[in-house]
Structure formats: structure tokens, C-alpha cells
Amino acid sequence: MEEVKEEGEEMDVNDCGGGGLEVVRVLVVDDSPVDRKIVEMLLKRSEGIFDVVSVDSGKKAMEVLGLNEIEAKPPNHDDQKIDIVLTDYCMPEMTGLDLLKAVKANSSSRSIPVVMMSSENDSERISSCRAIGAEDFILKPLRVKDVQRLRTYTVPIGPMSKRGSKRKLPIALIAESNGAEARPLLAKVAAFGSAVFLTLNFWRSSVMSSSCN
Amino acid sequence: MSLMALRERLNVLVNSMFLEGLLDQQFRQLQMLQDASSPGFVAEVITLFCEDSERMLTELTKLLDQAVVDYQKVDAYVHQLKGSSSSVGAQNVKLACIQFKQFCEENNKEGCLSALNMVKHQYYSLRSKFDTMLQLEQRIQAYDSEQQN
């Protein structure tokens, strides 16, 4: 387990999370012992930012999240609280997709960000995960930069934002990720921006023309 | 053998494994994750990989020995083995698994048997070199421990 740094304590230049930030508790779900070991080390090498709980199945993940009861209840102890779930997609019995659906279907866990991992760059798989509420979809094998950005899914962006609520990645980080799903997302952002611009201009034109008449 | 000679021998071994295609750059990524606080990380990953791979190869052998082959189960194990070999940088094993998956999708038993033999061949070639690597690592670490004491 990584030590929690005190508020205001200086961070090493290699730190990615900035000084004084809370440790993020990550639930790693992967049936492969090799992949679990590697992901644990990647998280550990992120300079004390992550505290890791790892399990080898979706079923055990449900237990950790307190979702295995008929009436799901939030964990009782603070040390059980999970800030983000990082799950493999392909697992026997309960897949990562099943786990994602279960997390998002339950009011006590819905706000926990879920990030998918997979060795397959399957655009349909990626789209379906995002549609259900996955924050991101990372291709295996994972790199340091992949785990470093996990924190962005749990850090609030402002006073109105809740911890763990869904938020967009900065464009640079989106572009850094896999190209296949990045381009459609960038296109959507660009389209949204254009739509806002056009709407504002239309409104402005309408106001000006009515004031002239 | 001196510490320097051991390190040189290990470097030569690892470089030859890259040249032969046994390993790819993912293995370098694992080496970069190892540091003074986790000096046995690469050895642990290699050990886990070997245990897991041999378990899967045993299961695959049993499945393909059946009169009626459950290709879904075969594919699931091959997928797992492909994944873990990719994660450790075991390039030739990964490539052999990709070929194996192709035969699974075709429900081609002869192809699967041939592919399984190839995967085993690649795996055991790698395993032999991994064993030598781990022995050298242990000797180097023993030297380092002596020097620290």
C-alpha cells in the first residue's frame, strides 16, 4: 500500500498528481494473474497516488463494491471505499461488461468511474462500453501514461462537480489514446463546438434584426 | 564469475532473445518498472507467466484430445495465453497464439493441434531462456546483497 502524503508536502518531479492530493483507491479486476501483477506495479510506480485492491473476477469485484447482496448497500468502512474500477473486458462467467452494467445500474455505485481494459481494439466493444457509462477504454498492454490518467476521472473539475462523476478528458489526453475511438470523439467535440457557435450567431443575428425593425 | 561478468552474460542473453524474436519491447517496459524497491518484479512476472502458461497448455491439450472439441473453450484459453504473452513481451508465443485462434475460428482440429504444438515449441524455447535469465538474476542479486552487507 502506498503512503498517503500529508497536505502541502512537496511531491517528487516524477509525480503526476500534484501535491497534497488524496490517494485514489483503485479496484483492479482481471482474471489474468500476470496482468494483475503488471497493473499493480504500474499503479504503484505512480508515486503514491494510488492504493490498489485487486481481484480475479467480476463476482469478487461485486463483493468489494458491496453489490453482491439482493439489496446492495454501500461499504460500511471508509477503507473499503473504491474511487475507481479498472476492469478487464474478457473474463469468464462475469465479464467486464457485465460488471460495468452492474455498477452503473446501482444507485450506490453508479458514480464510481469504471475504466475498461482489453487486448482487442474493437470499435463496437468500445462504443457499447462508453454508451453504458465507461469512462475510458484502454488497450492492453497498459503503459504508465494509461494509469496516470486514471486520476483525471476522480478529481473534481470545480465546485459544482461531484467526485467520480463522468467528465471528458482534455483533448490532448483523448488524442493521446487509441486513434480509432479518439477521432470520432474529437469530431463530436468539434461538431458540438460548431453547433454552439452557429446557435449563438443565429441568436445574435435574430436579436440585431429585430432591434432594427 | 565476477558481478560484471554475470551482468554481461545476462545482457547478452536478453539481447539474443530480442534478436531471435522471443521477446519484444513490452519486456523492456517490464524491466523499466523494476527498481530498487521491487528488485524481483521481472522474476515474479516471469514466474507467474510460466505457471499460468503451463496450466493453460495442459488444459488445451486435454480439450483437443476430446473426440468432440469444444472450440469455444479452446478459444478462451488461447485468448488468455495470447493476452499474457503479449503482456510480458513473449512475442513468438503471442504470434503462435494468433495463428492458433485462426484455426479455432475455423473449427479446424488438425490446424489447432498443429498450432498447439507450435505454441508449446515457442513457449518451451522461451521458458528455457527464462530459466537461465532467472538464475543469472539470482546470482547478481546475491552479489548485490553481499556488497550491501
* Facing A34 at nearest CB: one of B29, B48, B79: B48
Q: List phi, psi (to 5°) of A86.
A: -120, 105
pLDDT at residue A48, as a whole number:
65
User: How sure is the predictor about A212, in pLDDT bands with cuts at 50, 70 and 90?
Assistant: very low
pLDDT at residue A70, as a whole number:
56
Interface test with A, best of B24, B77, B80, B97 (most A CBs within 10 A): B80
Q: Residue A1, SS3?
A: coil
pTM: 0.75
* Eight-class DSSP state of A77: S
Contact across the interface for A37 and B30, Cβ inside 8 Å: no
Task: Determine contact: B84 vs chain A, CB below 8 A.
Answer: yes
pLDDT at residue A21, as a whole number:
65
Task: Determine contact: B73 vs chain A, CB below 8 A.
Answer: no
Contact (CB, 8 A) for A28 and A36: yes
Average pLDDT, chain A: 72
Chain B residue closest in CA terms to A31: B80
Say what percent of chain A tops pLDDT 90: 43
In the predicted structure, residue A149 carries a pLDDT above the cut 90: no
In the predicted structure, residue A8 carries a pLDDT above the cut 50: no
Of B39 and A210, the one with more pLDDT: B39
Contact (CB, 8 A) for A28 and A53: yes
Calculate Rg over the CA atoms of chain B: 18
In the predicted structure, residue B126 carries a pLDDT above the cut 70: yes
pLDDT at residue B113, as a whole number:
97
**CB contacts < 8 Å between A and B, how many?**
48
User: How sure is the predictor about A171, in pLDDT bands with cuts at 50, 70 and 90?
Assistant: very low
Average pLDDT, chain B: 94
CA distance B57 to B141: 31
Chain A contacts in chain B segment 23-42 (CB below 8 A): 26, 29-30, 33, 35, 38, 41
Distance from CA of B37 to the nearest CA of A (A): 10
pLDDT per residue over A67-125, tens digit each?
A: 976 555 555 544 468 999 999 999 999 999 999 999 999 999 999 999 999 999 999 99
In the predicted structure, residue A148 carries a pLDDT above the cut 60: yes
pLDDT per residue over B65-79, tens digit each?
A: 999 999 999 999 999
**What are the grid coordinates assigned to A6, written together?**
500529508
What is the mean predicted confidence (pLDDT) over A122-130?
93
User: How sure is the predictor about A20, in pLDDT bands with cuts at 50, 70 and 90?
Assistant: low
**What are the grid coordinates assigned to B82, written together?**
495470447
CA distance B36 to B47: 19
pLDDT at residue A181, as a whole number:
45
pLDDT at residue A197, as a whole number:
46
pLDDT at residue B54, as a whole number:
98
Task: Determine contact: B76 vs chain A, CB below 8 A.
Answer: yes
The count of residues in chain A is 213
In the predicted structure, residue A161 carries a pLDDT above the cut 60: no
Interface test with B, best of A12, A31, A34 (most B CBs within 10 A): A34
Chain B residue closest in CA terms to A92: B76
pLDDT at residue A80, as a whole number:
63
